Amino acid sequence: MGANIRQLEDKANEIRQDIIKMLVHAGSGHSAGPLGMADVFTALYFGVMNYDPQNPKLPERDRFVLSCGHICPVWYATLAHAGFFPHSELATLRKLGTRLHGHPHNEVLPGAENSSGPLGQGLSQAAGMAYSGLYWDKKPWRVYCVMSDGEQQEGQTWEAAMFAGKYNLRNLTALMDRNNIQIDGYTEEVMPLEPLRAKYEAMNWTVVEVDGHNIQEIIDACNRAKAIAENPTLIICHTIPGKGVDFMEYRYEWHGKPPKEEEARQALKELRTLGGRIRSEHE
């Protein structure tokens, strides 16, 4: 924490490059979502949350729950940059014996509070943690839950949303990746989700919408959530799937596949060019 926005934008770009390298080396995994959420994860880990990578079970740490486990490459890259494990370990994604599974496993992954794979469960896990922290332990730590828009089609998500609203879980902040895609198409064609804001507000949530690629906006929204004493907060992060790689952006076909070697070279070239533009804009 404490880095300026230019440094955080550079960090997000580095994380995107790591995602591409991890995926092409693994030969499997998801591309669009991880690239789209790099700015959100950078904002959370380097501008918002309280944690200690040398002591992942620090009692007063903020809890982070990843509900949409398939975007874990962005989480793994972020954890490595934050110091939870060596950066070189990213090359073991999806390999036998790795700690970096295709979906996160909390018993082996430093910094993980939950295991995730089946969609729609993370908000329930996060709400349970928030309830225990607020009403049982009475501790000041917060819970952050990242979830996809596609998993809003899961009934369990809405049960958790009702629970969190009923118990006024003011220590819970959920961040939704609103990229409008899922594995077999665009969300509004597969199963329409809108009006998302109105649905959550009807369940006693404060809802904030941000540009999911504007790190300052994301940090400001999280800080606003800390000041809300009445109810949980949902931050709808409008993102571009495949952000930073022209041939991936907005295309749902890249939801669940990795780049091939030539595609990875092109993607890395684009991201390095983007990194140069970021630096020049701030000079």
Distance CA 14, CA 217 (A): 20
pLDDT tens digits, residue range 118-152? 888 999 999 999 999 999 999 999 999 999 999 99
Report whether pLDDT(276) > 80: no
Provide the residue ranges of all domains of the chain, joining segments of one domain with +.
5-281
Q: Cβ distance 251 to 242 under 8 Å?
A: yes
Report whether pLDDT(283) > 60: no
pLDDT at position 278, please? 61
Choice among 10-14, 47-51, 105-109, 126-130 with the minimum mean pLDDT: 105-109
| CATH superfamily of the 5-281 domain | Thiamin diphosphate (ThDP)-binding fold, Pyr/PP domains (3.40.50.970)
Q: Cβ distance 35 to 239 under 8 Å?
A: no
pLDDT at position 120, please? 87
| Number of C-beta neighbours around residue 72 at 10 A | 28
| Whole-Å CA distances, 57 to 40, 84, 243 | 23, 12, 32
Choice among 20-29, 80-89, 273-282 with the minimum mean pLDDT: 273-282
**CA neighbor of 15 nearest in space, from 47, 32, 37, 48:** 37
Report whether pLDDT(57) > 90: yes
Task: Name the token pair of 26.
Answer: 């693994």
Report whether pLDDT(10) > 80: yes
pLDDT tens digits, residue range 34-44? 999 999 999 99
pLDDT tens digits, residue range 153-162? 999 999 999 9
- SS3 breakdown of the chain: % helix, strand, coil, rounded to 5? 50, 10, 40
Distance CA 254, CA 248 (A): 6
Report whether pLDDT(1) > 50: no
Q: What average pLDDT does the segment 67-92 reach? A: 96
pLDDT at position 274, please? 76
**Average pLDDT of the chain to the nearest whole number:** 94
pLDDT at position 281, please? 61
